[in-house]
Amino acid sequence: MISLHEKVLEGIYDEFERWADESLACKKGCATCCTQNVIITAVEGERIHRHVRENGKEEWFAAALQQKAATKKPRLTTNGFAESCLRGEDVSPESYGSSQPCPFLDGDCCSIYDARPFSCRCFVSTQTCSPGVPALIGEKYLSASTAVMQMIEHLGQGEFIGNMLDVLLALCGVSENRKYLALLPASMSDQGLANVVKARPLPGFLLLEEEMETVGPLLHAIFAHEVEGRSIEDILNNR
């Protein structure tokens, strides 16, 4: 069964896709950007786990999780970072994992493409990347990705947030995923649990007035998107 939060997440992904330019170089099968440095929330992790279960790929998934490189517990989440900035503190964004290739790659294709998290969806380039050619990310995407990630974190406040592989390992302990008890060393889900932190509520967006011109329409479309007869704005505000 798909939870309300997962349906909200799908609404956010759909609105982001509608808003994004069609002139992007990104496409399925393009993978230079696919590293282990990806942040997700628990609801995004649950969506990935459900995708794996529905496709009967648990053994492949357990083997992929065991390719995890060293990760870090986030010092600040996206909303934690926003809180510090809004208080006027001098903070810098951090990375959450290694630049090793993502273990969900099969050749150059993402094996969980339909369930890939927002961090993978918002990393977009107007030029095709290669080892010597970095992504060219437009300003509007940089502003939008932070604002949307803030909403996704708010949606999952109180739940896990952290490196994608840590969140997925931490979720191996929940009842639908008990199968992993036999497929993974017990220490791995403990490792995941040790490296995740709690998602925080949205303290306010970090958008400048000029950024609101391009990102505002996306935020309005997300807030107005209806899920089970309620707007995402009402759901996020618990109304």
34 binds ligand SF4 (CB under 6 A): yes
Nearer Cβ to ligand SF4 (30/174): 30
Among 12, 38, 155, 170, binds ligand SF4 (CB under 6 A): 38
144 binds ligand SF4 (CB under 6 A): no
DSSP string across 170-189 = HGGGSGGGTTHHHHS-HHHH
Among 71, 78, 125, 150, binds ligand SF4 (CB under 6 A): 125
69 binds ligand SF4 (CB under 6 A): no
Could you give the C-alpha distances from 194 to 53, 102, 117, 166, 182, in angstroms and in order?
24, 21, 21, 8, 20
What does the alpha-carbon distance between residue 227 and residue 9 come to, in Å, rounded to a whole number? Answer: 10
Q: Which helix (H) or strand (E) holds 204?
A: none
N-term to C-term CA, the chain: 23
123 binds ligand SF4 (CB under 6 A): yes
Nearer Cβ to ligand SF4 (121/203): 121
129 binds ligand SF4 (CB under 6 A): yes
Q: Could you tell me the smallest distance in angstroms from the CB atom of residue 142 to ligand SF4?
A: 13
Q: Could you tell me the smallest distance in angstroms from the CB atom of residue 45 to ligand SF4?
A: 11
What number of CA atoms fall less than 13 Å from residue 138's CA on the CB side?
A: 15
Taking each helix axis as running N to C, give the angle between helix 209-224 and helix 4-19, from 0 to 180 degrees, rounded to the nearest 10.
Answer: 130
Binding site for ligand SF4 (CB under 6 A): 25-26, 30, 32-34, 38, 102, 104-105, 110, 112, 116, 120, 123-125, 128-129, 135
